[in-house]
Amino acid sequence: MEQSLSRQDTGRIVWLDVVRLVAMFTVVCCHCTDPFNFFPGTSPDIGKIKFWGAVYGAALRPCVPLFVMITGALLLPVSGSSGTFYRKRIGRVFFPFLIWSVIYNLFPWVTGLLGVEPQVILDFFPYAGEDVMRQSFAVSLGYIGGIPFNFSILDVHMWYIYLLIGLYLYLPIFSAWVAQASERAKLGFLALWGVTLLLPYYNEFVAGYLWGTCSWNSFGMLYYFAGFNGYLLLGHYLRHHDWSGRTLLLVGVPMFAVGYAVTFVGFRHMTSLPDYTDEMLELFFTYCSLNVALMTIPVFMLCKQIRIRSERLQRALANLTLCGFGVYMIHYFFTGPSVVLMRTLDVPIPLQIPLASVVAFGVSWLLVSLAYRCFGRKTRWVLG
């Protein structure tokens, strides 16, 4: 019984549940690196803190691409009408997204009402600025008013939900081509998409404009092959292809190693510069870059090889699928405090990020699972 390569009686694709587990845990782990890479203050161990933040931060970049690949693997080509698809998919994410965006943005004001020191906010949100430290209702209200336009510094992880809704809007349109495209046509699209993964570096190190882009045009020649839609198609394509153990060893390991080396060395170089910008800081961490794609593909293919025969583990993975969106919604409340806990316990710096991730992930999963157990399907309106 090779459950990793087939559906179970419940209709689940077990290996995709494994990919989801890896994606979910690594995104929590990724956010546990924020208090390291954006350490708010001074410390005699600042060198170690920054180094290990980069070590883990670079390794965790496949987290978001894996989520998008899961979406492509499961939903392409889209079945049914676009209206039905939009109601089912967008409706399920919109209300939890709105509710939790409001909760995150009210958090500093609530801490002020409770008499909590403003400095504590930095333990939760490393990106928080001076306005947030005022613990003002007017500041929180301003952030809430901006939700239709973008995320705030208090709910940074919500950037992905704007992206996800956009991908859902695009999927039925893209699906029409995917459904009739040959394998060669799909590979052609992915090849052009691969070229676009180099554009962030061209724009940073060579020139700002390329292939028709200029001060009055942002949409260059390969614009329509760029972005996260490439990961959608990649997930759909790789779902129907397998790598042997030999291929994983001879191709996958070098791919990951090269991607990781570029990501780590590039990030460390940028952060060593005296006057780096936010864009320079994120350049080698960019999800739609060749180095991150090189890391993501072997991780996805490795997960396809994992066989889960234990019914208990299968049920746990199925439960994570149910709770996953809720875990994403609430986990950002626990990543910072989990890191603080590790520092309070004097855990060695190299172990702080993985152990804090286990705590934040476990607490988030437990709370969402309990909510579903207590309130059933009504929980979806709040936790997805």
Looking at the 3D structure of the chain, how many domains does it have? 1
Q: Which residues of 54-79 are buried (b: 16+ CB within 10 A; e: fewer)?
A: bbbbbbbbbbbbbbbbbbbbebbebe
97 is in which domain, residue-wise? 3-362
In a domain, 375, yes or no: no
For residue 11, what pLDDT band results from cuts at 50, 70 and 90?
Answer: low
In a domain, 110, yes or no: yes
CA distance 234 to 237: 5
Q: Across residues 42-65, what is the average pLDDT?
A: 91
pLDDT reading at 381 higher than 70: yes
In a domain, 374, yes or no: no
In a domain, 263, yes or no: yes
Residue 197 in tokens: 């993964």
CA atoms within 13 A on the CB side of 207: 7
pLDDT value at residue 126:
83
pLDDT value at residue 130:
82
Query: Which of 10-19, 37-46, 48-57, 114-123 is least confident?
Result: 37-46
pLDDT reading at 9 higher than 70: no
pLDDT reading at 125 higher than 70: yes
pLDDT reading at 137 higher than 80: yes
In a domain, 372, yes or no: no
Q: By percentage, how much of the chain surpasses pLDDT 90?
A: 81
The answer to whether residues 121 and 111 touch, using CB atoms and an 8 Å cutoff, is: yes
For residue 384, what pLDDT band results from cuts at 50, 70 and 90?
Answer: confident
Cβ–Cβ contacts within 10 Å for residue 87, how many? 11
pTM above 0.85, yes or no: yes
In a domain, 90, yes or no: yes
Q: By percentage, how much of the chain surpasses pLDDT 70?
A: 96
pLDDT value at residue 122:
86
224-258 confidence digits (pLDDT tens): 999 999 999 999 999 999 999 999 999 999 999 99
pLDDT value at residue 131:
87
